[in-house]
């Protein structure tokens, strides 16, 4: 069936209208997408502008041939103290501190040759004249001919880092000087120890030998028959014998004091109660004197010799310095702590005045109150040295007319069967 001329024209018109509508729909869709993309671009532009202005680093753009500043961010303005108007009238060289001008020239040469440089340390001068330490990086923008016409520069403030380096260098110098002083002190200490060993040898041989001779001669003279010596002479002879015996003990105490802590401790299994009974048997234990031992810890692994010496000195002091030894009650108490034992040696003696609590631990000190026993002044200082050389501490609790308690801590290894 053939279409009439009118029908053909009507059909073509309808087809044109449909195509036009489709094109309009396509244009509207494309326009919508374009608007969305423009919105995203605007948001990204706002983001990057905000990032540029408020970044922690200083950003600037430079006209490379004449080196004037084309653009800078707010961080640079805040750091250097200039206004934006002032900076845009300046060259980048105006911001360099005089101390780094020579280095900046070398960097420019490197930049022109390579088109970039990174992590170069420079110094800027703030508007108020203060120095600002920075690390600088730059990249170039070239024209069609390959010439660098602009440069993008980033500066990071490292003033605090430079200050930290300065302090570290000072500490390093101090440490070096301290090490030199320590080496000198160690050298001097080695010489002192060498002299001390010689002195101890002299004391143990050249001094003790004549003292023993004096004591022996006094004993022999005292055994002379009849009235060979007058009573005053016998009294003086007895005094010489006592002083010789005292001097022999004094030299022995000095040697013990200076040798304390020099030897490496030998660890062994120690039964505390057996150790204490051994000490009691060795002492001149007065009749009527009572000894008590209270402890949940019976056996431990420790250095026996120094612990024996400590208890020997503390218990003998409690006896000899008691105003009435026959009524003395001496208690040794042991309590376990997480990392150590705490021992206490307590007596019911006359007590020690508070003003002497520190002085009693000092060697060769004679206190201002009288006791029955004339010691060498070494015993408690030896105890303190032995305790501290094994990582412990010691103190005294006492008052006149009241009991005296010496407490000391002692590291140990538990005994496991």
- Structural domain harbouring 221: 169-257
Total count of domains within the chain: 3
- Domain with residue 98: its CATH number is 3.30.450.20
- pLDDT for the residue 140: 93
**CA angle in degrees (0–180, nearest 5) for 279-283-284:** 160
What H or E segment, with its residue span, contains residue 89?
Answer: none
29 within some domain: no
**One domain for residues 272 and 346:** yes
**One domain for residues 314 and 371:** yes
Q: How far apart are CA 357 and CA 359, in angstroms?
A: 6
**One domain for residues 229 and 364:** no
Residue 244 C-beta-side C-alpha neighbours within 13 Å: 18
Q: How far is CA 69 from CA 37, 60, 170, 348, in A?
A: 33, 7, 38, 91
**One domain for residues 387 and 312:** yes
- Domain with residue 317: its CATH number is 3.30.565.10
- pLDDT in tens for each of the 417 residues of the chain? 454 555 666 666 666 666 667 777 777 777 778 777 777 777 676 666 777 787 889 999 999 999 999 999 999 999 999 999 999 999 999 999 999 999 999 999 999 999 999 999 999 999 999 999 999 999 999 998 889 999 999 999 999 999 999 999 999 999 999 999 999 888 888 877 776 767 666 666 666 677 777 777 777 777 766 566 777 777 777 777 777 776 776 667 666 666 665 566 678 888 988 989 888 887 777 788 889 998 877 788 888 888 888 998 899 888 888 888 888 899 999 998 888 889 999 999 888 888 888 888 887 665 544 555 555 567 788 889 889 888 899 999 988 888 899 999 998 776 665
288 within some domain: yes
- pLDDT for the residue 96: 95
**One domain for residues 295 and 233:** no
**One domain for residues 177 and 127:** no
235 within some domain: yes
101 within some domain: yes
Q: How far apart are CA 258 and CA 404, in angstroms?
A: 27
340 within some domain: yes
Phi/psi of residue 309, nearest 5 degrees: -60, -40
């Amino acid at each position: 069936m053939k279409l009439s001329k009118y029908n053909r024209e009507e059909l073509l018109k309808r087809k044109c209208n449909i195509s036009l509508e489709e094109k309009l729909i396509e244009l509207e869709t494309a326009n919508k997408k374009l608007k969305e993309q423009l919105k995203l671009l605007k948001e990204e532009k706002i983001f990057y502008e905000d990032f540029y202005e408020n970044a922690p680093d200083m950003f600037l753009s430079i006209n490379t041939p004449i080196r004037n500043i084309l653009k800078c961010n707010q961080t640079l303005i805040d750091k250097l103290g200039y206004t934006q108007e002032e900076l845009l009238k300046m060259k980048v060289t105006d911001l360099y501190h005089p101390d780094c001008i020579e280095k900046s020239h070398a960097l420019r040469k490197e930049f022109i040759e390579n088109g970039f440089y990174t992590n170069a340390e420079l110094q800027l001068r703030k508007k108020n004249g203060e120095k600002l330490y920075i690390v600088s990086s730059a990249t170039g923008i070239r024209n069609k001919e390959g010439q660098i016409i602009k440069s993008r520069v980033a500066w990071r403030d490292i003033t605090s880092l430079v200050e930290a380096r300065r302090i570290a260098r000072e500490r390093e110098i101090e440490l070096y000087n301290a090490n030199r002083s320590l080496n000198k002190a160690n050298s001097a200490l080695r010489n002192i120890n060498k002299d001390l060993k010689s002195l101890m040898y002299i004391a143990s041989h050249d001094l003790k030998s004549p003292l023993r001779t004096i004591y022996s001669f006094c004993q022999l003279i005292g055994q002379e028959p009849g009235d060979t010596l007058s009573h005053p002479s016998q009294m003086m002879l007895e005094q010489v014998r006592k002083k010789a015996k005292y001097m022999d003990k004094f030299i022995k105490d000095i040697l013990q004091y200076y040798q304390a802590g020099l030897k490496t401790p030998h660890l062994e299994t120690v039964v505390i109660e057996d150790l204490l009974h051994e000490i009691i048997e060795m002492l001149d234990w007065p009749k009527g004197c009572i000894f008590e031992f209270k402890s949940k810890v019976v056996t431990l692994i420790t250095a026996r010799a120094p612990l024996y010496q400590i208890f020997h000195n503390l218990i003998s002091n409690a006896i000899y310095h008691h105003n009435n030894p026959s009524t003395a009650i001496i208690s040794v108490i042991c309590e376990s702590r997480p990392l150590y034992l705490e021992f206490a040696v307590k007596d019911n003696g006359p007590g020690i005045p508070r003003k002497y609590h520190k002085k009693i631990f000092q060697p060769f000190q004679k206190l201002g109150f009288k006791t029955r026993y004339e010691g060498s002044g070494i015993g408690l200082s030896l105890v303190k040295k032995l305790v501290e050389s094994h990582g412990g501490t010691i103190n005294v609790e006492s008052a006149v007319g009241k009991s005296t308690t010496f407490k000391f801590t002692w590291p140990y290894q538990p005994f496991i069967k």
